[in-house]
Structures are given as structure tokens and as C-alpha cells.
Amino acid sequence: MSSNTVSTTTSDKEPGGAPAGFEGDRRDDTSLGGIVRGYVDRIRGGDLGALPAVLGIVVLGILFAALRPETFLTPLNITNLLVQAVPITILAMGLVFVLLLGEIDLSAGVVSGVAAAVMAQLLAEAGAPWYVAVLAAIVTGAVIGLFTGSLVGVIGIPSFVVTLALFLGWQGVTLRLIGQGGTVPVRDPVIIGVSNQNLPVVLGWVLALAVVLVYAALQLNRLRRQRSRGLASEPTVIVVGRIVIIAAVTLGITALLSIDRALSAAVDLAGIPYAVPLVVVLLLVLTFVLGRTSFGRHVYAVGGNAEAARRAGINVTRIRVSVFVIASTLAAISGIAAASRLGSVTPGSGAGNTLLYAVGAAVIGGTSLFGGRGRVRDALLGGLVVAIIANGLGLLGVQAYLNFIITGGVLLLAASVDALARRRAAATGH
């Protein structure tokens, strides 16, 4: 296997004067046993990683494919499913930041409704251009987040209570904006297009290839730099494996979405819906913020041990407020994506089970409800699981009551896994 030769040559290049100790940093254990051991160690530490979500996607995919072989795995349904997952995923991405601090934002769902209502009314009543309406919606989200964050971070009210109150309050605001029983249609072609128009097939392929190549280049370059400077690095086979998986998933989905999925032969319907690259861009930007900036580091620190963060000179209040701003801003974007998919905004937009789905997505993806552990990609993986459940149950035509029970049960299951993993970590911690 080629990765083995790579690893041997790189380890030969390590500086001769390397200090004793830290032997774990220079280990390039490419044996299957070593990799499995490393993974088991991480699970012992309470970090299940992407395992439950990936397992969920695979198991649910097989289950629904077996139950509805005619409809579930068709390109048309997969596209629907992905577009369905977009608002949940974006909302969950914001919630990851809040959950990282061990806080909760129960109002994020209805904030997406308020922002969407602001956008819809600006488009319909004021005749504003789409970019003004979108900007207004996003600013609305950010301001709401500043308000929520200040109540939690500055005044010190538990976030559960603040956002539970706002969950009710903002629904009233949406109702006032839209009007009782009313529906405001969204007809702007750009906004509707986000969920209902597709990238040209060629452009889709170009973007997909670019994503894969840039990702591979960044990963390999980082590995090379770490090795040449004698820093801690992952085994080559893991890095290469990750690149292969990302490439396979990206190119596989692109191929699937590039198939003509029109139901009648007369029209041509192929390509990646614009909403998908929107999610990818948000994923990349937010992952960068959380993983590569000191702000992101401080979010983890406050979530892990707020007192330690405070003593280290981190402004804990500022971090608290800003995660709520991020969550509400992303909620606004999620609201726009939902309005784009449905083509309208109603007083019920963002209410009901929207928030439950998003929290479920983050937790299923591996973000801890206890704070300190979570990644932006959790929202994407968990969002897919939630969307597969919603989509599959819809295809099965199960009754609404069963839908509620099953979705609630899945969230409960994910939260139990989180709690058990945490207990396990506490038990194995020396």
C-alpha cells in the first residue's frame, strides 16, 4: 500500500535531536490494530465522533430503500431530501455554537420565522429587492441574538428560561407581521431559486472537483508540514482515508444530482440545487472559525471550563453573547432557506418541531448537550439523519402521530448516547 512507503520516508526525515518522550506524537501506526486502538481510546474519552450519525444514515438508508425501493433511492427523492435537510442543518449549525457552551437556544426556530416574515413582508409589501430583504432578515437575526445573548451573558438569566420566554414572544411577533391565519407568498425568483433551481451540471462538477482537490491539498500539505517539523500528526492512512471518503461522497452526490430526474421526458431537470453549495460554504466558514481562530478556541474553552477560561483572561461574557448572535444569525439564514423551499411564510414558520429537529440534528451528529464537545459538521450529519427520517416516514405514509413519536424517540436516543458517553468518560478519566 502506497501510504506505508510515504510514512516510512517521512519518519526517516525527523530531526535527529528529537527530545525523549511524546512518543505518541511521532507514532505513525498504520497497522489496523493501532488505528482501532486509537479509535477505541477516543470512544473511551466520550467522543463517539461521527460514528452514530454515519451509522444512522446508512441503517436508515437501507431500511427505507428496502421498504420503498421504488421511490426512496431515486435521484428526485435524494434531491428532495437534501433540500429538505438544508434549513434544519443551517439552524443546527448555529445551535452547535450555543450547545458548545452548555447553553440552549429554544427560540432559534421561531427566530428563523421572524426573520423570514421580515424578508417576506419587505418583498411583498415594500417591493424591496431580494438582497435588501435578505440582508434585513439576517440583521434581524443578529439583533435578536444580541438581545438573547445579553439577557443570558450580561444579566445572567439561565438560557433555558430566556429562550423559552422568547420562544413564545417571537411567535407573537411573527403573527403580528404576517397576520392571523395569513400566508405571505414569496415569489422573488432569486430566493425561490435557492431551493428550486440547480447549478448547471458542468459547473456542479467543477465545484465538486475543486472542493475535493483543495481539501486533499490542504490535508496533505498540513501533514507534510507537521511531519517535517516533527509535530504531532495523524497516521498517513487516516488522512488519506478521510480524503478518499470526502472525495467519494462529494463526487457520488454530484453524480447522482447530475442525472436527469425530471418526471416527464419533455423537461430537463439535473444539477445540484443552489441550497447545497450554500450549506457547504457555511460549513467551511464556520468550521474555520471554530477550529482555526482564537475565538473558536475560546468557545471550546468556555464550554469546557468557564472558570479556567476566565482566569486565562478570556472575556467569557463576550463569548456567551456572541454564540447567541451566531445562532440567531444562522437561524435567520435557515428561515430564508425554508421560505425558499416552501414559497411562503406563515405565522407557524419556524414553530412546532423545527427547533426540536435542529437540536436533534446537532446532538445526533455528536455535539454534546453538556458543552465543550461538538463540531459544525455534526449539524450536517445529524441534519441528514433527521431529514432521512422525515422523508422516509413521509414516503411510507405513516400517520402524523407516529411521525412525532418516532422523531421524539430518535432525539431521546441521541441524548441518551451523549449522556452515557459522558458518564463513560468520567468513569475512565483517571
Applying CB under 8 A, the residues found at the interface with other proteins are: 19-25, 41, 45-46, 225-226, 229, 231-232, 292-294, 297-298, 300-301, 303-305, 307-309, 311-314, 372-373, 425, 429-430
Judged by beta carbon, residue 21 or residue 181, the one nearer other proteins is: 21
Q: Kindly state the smallest distance separating residue 100's Cβ from other proteins, in Å.
A: 9
State how far the Cα of 96 lies from the Cα of 373, in Å rounded to an integer: 9
Q: Is residue 117 a contact partner of residue 174, using CB atoms and an 8 Å limit?
A: yes
Angle at 80 between CA 74 and CA 81, to 5 degrees: 90
Spatial neighbors of 124 by CB under 8 A, at least 6 apart, are 184, 185, 186, 187
Closest CB 42 distance from other proteins, rounded Å = 9
Q: Nearest distance from residue 230's CB to other proteins, in Å?
A: 8
User: Of 108, 100, 106, whose CA–CA distance to 375 is shortest?
Assistant: 100
CB of 297 to other proteins, least distance (A): 6
CA dihedral 366, 62, 412, 382 (to 10 degrees): 30
Residue 329 CB, shortest distance to other proteins, in Å, is: 19
String of DSSP letters for 97-117:
HHHHTT---TTHHHHHHHHHH
Report the residue number, 86 or 96, with the smaller CB distance to other proteins.
96
Closest CB to other proteins among residues 416, 428: 428
In the complex with other proteins, the residue whose CB is nearer, 397 or 429, is 429
Nearer to other proteins, 231 or 281 (CB): 231
Q: How far is the CB of 318 from other proteins (least distance, A)?
A: 13
Q: Which is nearer to other proteins, 24 or 127 (CB)?
A: 24
Residue (of 1, 112, 79) closest to 357 by Cα position: 112
Query: Around Cβ 171, how many Cβ atoms within 10 Å?
Result: 20
CA distance 203 to 113: 32
- Amino acid identity at 302: V
